[in-house]
Amino acid sequence: PHTLYSDAVFAKNRIVKFVYWHLLEKPMLKKAALIQILERDQVQPLRRRGVQTPAAVVPNAIDPAGTPPEEDLAWSTTGPIRLYYLGRINFHQKALDILVKAVAQVRKEFDIHLTIQGPDAGDLDTLKGIARQTGAEEVLTILPPDFE
């Protein structure tokens, strides 16, 4: 799984997740030979939920071939502070609502711009609403994922 089995994850759509977890996912995980996790701290939530299946940490990777050489990188001291988020648009796991609200506060004192790029995990419209309500909309760019 590519998710933490934390209480926060199970809080949204609680009834549906309870049924799904007990009827499908937990039995499947208990029968698996091995579970792939992204970080070591993802083991404990599984154990607390009664899954003792061995787990292997296999972190997400970045292809070095797509990364510019270090000597080509330089910090800019002019223009806005630029923040980038690449990943799923998911509040419960990524806290993007908190990030957007923070950018709305920071923009009152600093020139800042936030770019969010990734697939919608169901929270995109809510994210746009928060950006509108807080004034972050003016300094926010939301882009679809680019898997190329």
Per-residue pLDDT at 1: 43
DSSP annotation string for 67-132? SPPGGG-----SS-EEEEEES-B-HHHH-HHHHHHHHHHHTTTS-EEEEEES-BSS-HHHHHHHHH
CA distance 110 to 112: 6
pTM for this entry? 0.61
Listed as own residue / partner, the contacts of 48-53 with beta carbons closer than 8 Å and 24 or more positions apart are 48/5, 49/5, 49/21, 50/26, 51/5, 51/26, 53/29
Per-residue pLDDT at 26: 94
Mean pLDDT per 10-residue interval, the chain, length 148 residues? 70 89 94 90 90 89 78 87 92 87 96 95 94 96 88
Per-residue pLDDT at 103: 97
| 94 exposure class (CB count in 10 Å sphere: 0-12, 13-18, 19+) | middle
Per-residue pLDDT at 30: 95
